[in-house]
């Protein structure tokens, strides 16, 4: 029952513009293009960009704008920056061991966003992982990230009896009740696996990464083709569990 009518259109609009610019990176975005993308009036875009330029969030490049330096200055001091540098080496080792792609994900709202990926030599270099935020209830990393919450917190997000919006037929957690059940299993095992839930032909496993206090701050995830990796899901999970512990350790010691 928090006051939700407290909304700042300005901030939302500015973020929308910045993300539109970021999504088009490295191509500088022109004024009109952004107006189209965000569906706002050109006058608003013009004035907003002017402000964002003044504040260093955007930067002129030719006849368009790109993301400015101030964002980097802030991003440098985020928890994610430390997390990535702590996890990168471990992920590297696991890529070598599994020969499959690894992801480092965090929860934002109800979405899972990937903040770092490591691919094996034979994989494609994923360039598009930033915008791809997946729903949390149907991915292994999402369930792992949710597993830090209490049952009633989860049920508040996903009501027990109600069918979750957008749950595909393959998904094993179509209601909040089922989700809580899956999460109990994750809490017991310390890892989560999914088989062809999010995408056909794909399997995945995830383990939680905790901070010094034990709360879950991120998830380590491996995704691979069903045929190639199904039998390795459990061993890989156990391996990742150990890696997650080492990441926690190096997070607290730095």
Least separation in angstroms between residue 24's CB and DNA is 13
Q: Under DSSP, is residue 54 helix (H, G, I), strand (E, B) or coil? A: helix
- Phi, psi angle pair for 166, to nearest 5°: 80, 5
CA distances from 251 to 81, 84, 104, 242 (A): 11, 10, 14, 14
**Among DNA, its own copies, none, partner that 79 touches (CB below 5 to 8 angstroms by kind):** its own copies
Instruction: From 49-57, 126-134, 142-150, 203-211, give the range in contact with DNA by CB under 7 A.
Output: 49-57
List Cα–Cα distances, 33 to 10, 17, 21, 131, in angstroms: 19, 11, 10, 19
The site map against DNA for 4-43 (x = CB under 7 A) is: -xxxxxxx-x----------------xxxx-x----xxxx
Q: x/- site string to its own copies, residues 155 to 194, per CB under 8 A?
A: -xx-------------------------------------
CB of 75 to DNA, least distance (A): 23
Contact partner at residue 108 from DNA, its own copies, none, CB < 5 to 8 Å by partner kind: its own copies
Tokens read off for 79: 């928890």
Q: In a 3-state reduction of DSSP, which class is residue 220?
A: strand
Q: Which residues contact 251 (CB under 8 A, 6 or more apart)?
A: 82, 83, 86, 211, 212
Query: Could you tell me the smallest distance in angstroms from the CB atom of residue 154 to its own copies?
Result: 8
Interface with its own copies (CB under 8 A), residue total 88
Residues within the interface to DNA (CB under 7 A): 2-3, 5-11, 13, 30-33, 35, 40-44, 46-51, 63
């Amino acid at each position: 029952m928090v006051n939700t009518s407290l909304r700042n259109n300005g901030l939302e609009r500015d973020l929308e513009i910045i993300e539109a610019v970021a999504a088009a990176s490295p191509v500088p975005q022109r004024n009109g293009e952004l107006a189209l993308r965000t569906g706002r009036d050109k006058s608003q875009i013009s004035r907003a960009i002017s402000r964002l330029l003044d504040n260093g969030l955007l930067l002129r490049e030719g006849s368009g704008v790109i993301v400015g330096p101030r964002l980097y200055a802030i991003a440098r001091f985020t928890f994610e920056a430390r997390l990535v540098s702590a996890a990168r080496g471990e992920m590297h080792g696991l890529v070598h061991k599994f020969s499959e792609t690894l992801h480092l994900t965090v929860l934002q709202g109800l979405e899972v966003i990937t903040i770092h990926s490591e691919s094996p030599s034979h994989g494609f270099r994923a360039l598009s992982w930033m915008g791809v935020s997946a729903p949390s209830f149907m991915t292994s990393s999402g369930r792992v990230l949710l597993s830090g919450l209490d049952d009633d917190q989860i049920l508040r997000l996903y009501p027990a009896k109600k069918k979750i919006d957008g749950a595909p037929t393959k998904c094993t957690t179509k209601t909040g009740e089922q989700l809580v059940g899956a999460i109990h299993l994750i809490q017991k095992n310390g890892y989560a696996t999914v088989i062809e839930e999010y995408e056909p032909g794909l399997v995945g496993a995830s383990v939680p990464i905790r901070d010094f206090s034990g709360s879950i701050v991120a998830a380590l995830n491996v995704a691979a083709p069903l045929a190639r990796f199904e039998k390795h899901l459990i061993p890989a999970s156990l391996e990742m569990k150990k890696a997650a512990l080492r990441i926690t350790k190096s997070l607290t010691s730095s």
